[in-house]
Amino acid sequence: MTIEYIRYVLKDHDPAAFISAYTEACKHLAASPECLGYDLAQCDDDPNTFVLRIRWISVEAHIEGFRRGPNFPPFLAAIRQFVPMIAEMRHYNPTDLAWTR
């Protein structure tokens, strides 16, 4: 599994519009067999900053499967206006150090 983190810093857009766009876009993530899950967090200190975490089977599944598959075009269409606000987008490998209550 790989985890993709995408950090957005909104400049001229309403956070509610961003969440609404991702509500639609994430329907296409959920429909993708390459996607294992996702969550979106809004910064308490700066409500215009968001981090989207997407869990993929692998980097290859994300790039070769999802981005070349039928779910990517409608996903991108839903969030296209926010793409220029991406401050960081990277893939990470999880470590064994984790805990959840």
Q: Where are the domains of the chain?
A: 2-92
Question: Confidence class of residue 34 from pLDDT cuts 50, 70 and 90?
Answer: very high
pLDDT at 96: 95
Confidence bin at 95 (pLDDT 50/70/90) = very high
Q: Each residue of 46-69: pLDDT tens digit? A: 999 999 999 999 999 999 999 999
Give the pair of three-digit tokens for residue 43: 């910064």
pLDDT band at residue 24, thresholds of 50, 70 and 90?
Answer: very high
Give the model's pLDDT for residue 14.
94
Query: What's the burial of 66, exposed, middle or buried (CB within 10 Å: 0-12/13-18/19+)?
Result: buried
Q: pTM of the prediction?
A: 0.94
Beta bridge partners of 54: 4, 38
Predicted local confidence at residue 51, as pLDDT: 98
Mean pLDDT computed over 23-35: 98
Distance, in Å, from the CA atom of 57 to the CA atom of 77, rounded to the nearest integer, reads 23
- Quote the percentage of the chain above a pLDDT of 90: 98
Q: Which CATH architecture has domain 2-92?
A: 2-Layer Sandwich (3.30)
